[in-house]
A = this chain, B = another copy of it.
Amino acid sequence: MNLSDFSEIELIGKISRKIKLFSKNIVKGIGDDAAVVNYNKQYYLLLTTDSLVEDIHFNKFFAPEQIGMKAIEVNVSDIAAMGGFPKHALVSLIVPKNTKLDFIDKLYDGMNKKCRKYKINLIGGNLSNGKEISVTIAMLGFVEKKNLCLRSDAKANDLIVVTGKLGASAAGLKLLGSNKKGSSINYYLNPKSKLNAARLLAKYGINAMEDISDGLATEVRNICNESKTGAVIYKEKIPINKNTMIDSKKLNKYPYDLALYGGEDFELVFTINKDKLKKLNETKNGIKFTVVGKILPKKDGVYLLDKNKKTKLNRGYEHFNGNR
């Protein structure tokens, strides 16, 4: 059996069943955007790691600075999705022997730019020789205990809400791959985590939250899996911006598929009680969000409602059997 025979949820499930923990201080191990460890009376420690691999997470269209910036942003996005803020980072760089010093220099410029933005301390790392380039960041952050947002916190009847617009990054990648132009490309090359929005939402008191790194479908499945619930997504409510619509046409792609099964939008999906959402709408917080679905009891399953027609919700981007 190869890895490509399994979904990521199955693989992570297999791995986490093998793990034994030795400390009572661990609030959440494998299975969320970041691990959660008790820190002090006020805070939990958050720990996450994410890799960018050549030709998978970046390609020849990325400038070295952009690779560095993306490496930091994707990890900040994981910390943000827990309701927390980033603090320290370690960088493990694997590069071929013939790599130019200038590449490393610009890669670090990109990382430094984002570390300055978020006040992250780059406190260590490792440099190894290998055949392909990969940038792995391990990031530490903190979250106020009352603000922690776990994937497992969704409750039946919660509304499913997303920030921003979806599908632009996947459209951008496909435009580049087919030598076409369009404004979606910028979303793919310069992803931005939604740290401020996540912090605001976490303080406000939402339930589950996740960043949308592997397509809305996978993220909602993750939440349902951890919360032991079902869910419905209303397809026509998924927010897609005009330019993504235009770029999808150039690609002969259905834009909702890019939003559901594409990836790397780094927007947030969260679940919230209906009354709380009403109040959130009344506060002038500057966050743009859209209700796209509802958490259901587990027995109802996870499905997509397409013009009142119940259809199967496929999996989103999968690293071992998906196409990006």
Listed in ascending order, the chain A residues whose CB lies under 8 Å from chain B are: 1-6, 8, 11-12, 14-15, 18-23, 26, 29-30, 34-35, 37, 40, 47-51, 53-57, 87-88, 90-92, 94-95, 97-102, 104-105, 108-109, 112, 115-116, 119-132, 134, 136, 138, 140, 319-321
Contacts and interface: CB of A to CB of B under 8 A. Distances in A.
A35 to B, nearest CB: 4
Contacts of A99: 2-3
A302 B54 CA distance: 40
B97 A53 contact: no
B2 A90 contact: no
Counting chain B CB atoms within 10 Å of each CB, the highest count among A48, A49, A121, A124 belongs to A124
Given A21-B121, A35-B90, A136-B51, A320 B97 contact: yes
Query: Could you say how many copies of this chain the assembly holds?
Result: 2
Contact of A53 (B1, B2, B29, B130): B130
Contacts of A37: 88, 123
A116 B91 CA distance: 26
Given A56-B128, A90-B138, A92-B51, A122 B19 contact: yes
A53 B129 CA distance: 8
Nearest to A134: B94
Counting chain B CB atoms within 10 Å of each CB, the highest count among A15, A29, A108, A116 belongs to A15
B56 A123 contact: no
Name the 6 nearest CB pairs between A and B, nearest first. Answer: A138-B138, A35-B123, A35-B124, A53-B130, A22-B119, A49-B90
A130 B128 CA distance: 16
Contacts of A120: 22
Contact of A101 (B5, B29, B57, B130): B5
Contact of A122 (B29, B88, B104, B112): B29
A87 B25 CA distance: 11
Contacts of A11: 104, 127
A136 B50 CA distance: 10
B35 A109 contact: no
Contact of A98 (B4, B14, B108, B136): B4
Counting chain B CB atoms within 10 Å of each CB, the highest count among A57, A109, A138, A321 belongs to A138
Nearest to A29: B123
A113 to B, nearest CB: 11
A128 B53 contact: yes
A131 B131 contact: yes
Contacts of A48: 90, 124
B51 A121 contact: no
A216 B99 CA distance: 27
9 contacts: A4-B97, A11-B104, A15-B125, A18-B105, A22-B120, A23-B119, A26-B88, A37-B88, A97-B320
Contacts of A115: 19-20, 22
A6 B54 CA distance: 24
